[in-house]
Amino acid sequence: MSESEAVAEAAPDTSNADAVAAAVATDRPEWLQSKYETEGRSMEEAISEQAKGYNEIRSRMGAFTGAPDAYEANISPELTEAGYTPLDEDPRIDQFNEIAKELNLSQDGYDKMLNMYASWDMAETEAAKAAEPERVKEELAKLGTNADQRVKNVQDWIGANMTAEEKAGLEAVATSAEAVMAIESLIAKTRNAPQATAEVAAAPTGISKEDALKMRYVKHENGQLMMSVDPEYRRKADAALEAAVG
């Protein structure tokens, strides 16, 4: 057996054994990094150590070695059973996908990162739900002892003056004491706005059918029908028409 064959036979058992043996057969490979050539370490050992280092790096970076054409959102069964909802409508997922592509993240690595994010998101949602009753209690306290009645008044006004879509949008933002007070201010300004004629608005007894009908088309200074923006005015107009037609 030649000297090179003997050295190759004694080489450590690694996935790069053939490359190590071939390299040892030369004096010193140009690609061998000097940090692996320490005192007391043979050329073969130095090459073997460098090969181990490369294998470790590849192992650690395995999740960043091949992004698919399109990622699939594979939520774990545990999260699904716990009630986690799909991420299709979460705008943050688009950004997450873009970053994953830039990092060349594999589908397996993507699944791990996505499920970690989903776990955090679910935990935050549950924490917010648990804290909501106390938050509502604090907001009601800011409205004073008649908080419940004030909230009901606002809800009644919204229901009487808004379309279903407008109602949903306004109620979505009316979640704090400040928002409730802002809507109360809006209601007050609407009710105190100048009306077309005091005589018609008051719906006097003996009003004619023609005048009663005119009441229904009186407009607020902002161009909206008074019937649409002022519940009190609408009741008067309805009463006037009912009295006029008998």
pLDDT single digits (tens) 32-76: 666 656 666 777 776 676 566 555 545 554 455 678 888 888 888
Task: Report the DSSP beta bridge partners of residue 219.
Answer: 225
* 1, pLDDT greater than 50: no
Specify the long-range contacts of residues 69-74, CB closer than 8 Å, at least 24 apart.
71/97, 71/100, 71/107, 71/110, 72/107, 73/114, 74/111, 74/114, 74/115
Average pLDDT of the residues of the chain: 74
* 180, pLDDT greater than 70: yes
Round to whole Å and give the CA distance between 41 and 52.
15
- This model's pTM is above 0.75: no
pLDDT band at 236 (very low <50, low <70, confident <90, very high): confident
C-beta of residue 140 within 8 angstroms of C-beta of residue 147: yes
Instruction: Tokens 């879509």: give the residue.
Output: 165
pLDDT at 135 (0 to 100):
92
Helix (H, G, I), strand (E, B) or coil at 225: strand
Q: Which residue has the higher pLDDT, 230 or 116?
A: 116
Q: Which residue has the higher pLDDT, 45 or 218?
A: 218
Round to whole Å and give the CA distance between 74 and 82.
15
From the number of C-beta atoms within 10 Å of its C-beta (0-12, 13-18, 19+), residue 240 rates as buried
Task: Report the DSSP beta bridge partners of residue 225.
Answer: 219
C-beta of residue 231 within 8 angstroms of C-beta of residue 154: no
pLDDT band at 196 (very low <50, low <70, confident <90, very high): very low
Question: What is the per-residue pLDDT across 94-127, written as a single tens digit (0 to 9) for each?
Answer: 888 888 888 888 888 888 888 888 888 888 888 8
The residue type at 228: S
Residue 225, phi then psi, degrees to nearest 5: -65, 135
Residue 134, phi then psi, degrees to nearest 5: -70, -35
Tell me how many degrees the CA angle 15-21-25 measures, rounded to the nearest 5.
Answer: 160
Q: Which residue has the higher pLDDT, 27 or 91?
A: 91
pLDDT band at 245 (very low <50, low <70, confident <90, very high): confident
The residue type at 194: P
Q: Which of 124-133 are b and which e, b meaning 16 or more Cβ less than 10 Å from the residue's Cβ?
A: eeeeeeeeee
Domain boundaries, the chain: 3-60, 77-131, 143-191, 198-245
Round to whole Å and give the CA distance between 24 and 7.
8
C-beta of residue 243 within 8 angstroms of C-beta of residue 203: yes
